[in-house]
Homo-oligomer: A and B are copies of this chain.
């Protein structure tokens, strides 16, 4: 069993955030002794899930929905499974988009390295887009497609 302060340290979160999550109903089975929250292993796993689902793009409300399903038992296994299947796709798409962002950034890194060497952008402007070195051209194209 952990107090809110201990949990805050474990997860590097402000206490106020954990209270806020509780107020929003994210710990449906959280117990208290004379008003004071007692966090068990269940709540720690819940917090891990909250962090995971938040990073995957869910809102607090939606996470609350999921936590409600959890406390409804075996009848919601299908729903929970579908949620994760869906979030899997979402996160895979997020990663793909970030890979594209990374190509744009890599292109710009190269661009400014050249600009620093040249002292201006005259030569570079001539190169774009067709006369770029092969590797750089690929970055440029992936970053500019659509």
- Give A contacts to B, CB under 8 Å: 48-49, 52, 55-56, 74, 77-78, 80-81, 84-85, 87-88, 91-92, 94-95, 97-99, 101-102, 104-106, 108-109, 112-113, 115-116, 119-121, 143-144
A139 CB, nearest partner CB in chain B, Å: 12
A140 CB, nearest partner CB in chain B, Å: 11
Pair B48/A81 contact, Cβ less than 8 Å = no
Picked from B88, B106, B121, the residue with its CB within 8 Å of the CB of A106 is B88
With a CB–CB cut-off of 8 A, which chain B residues contact A87?
105
Pair B88/A105 contact, Cβ less than 8 Å = yes
A2 CB, nearest partner CB in chain B, Å: 17
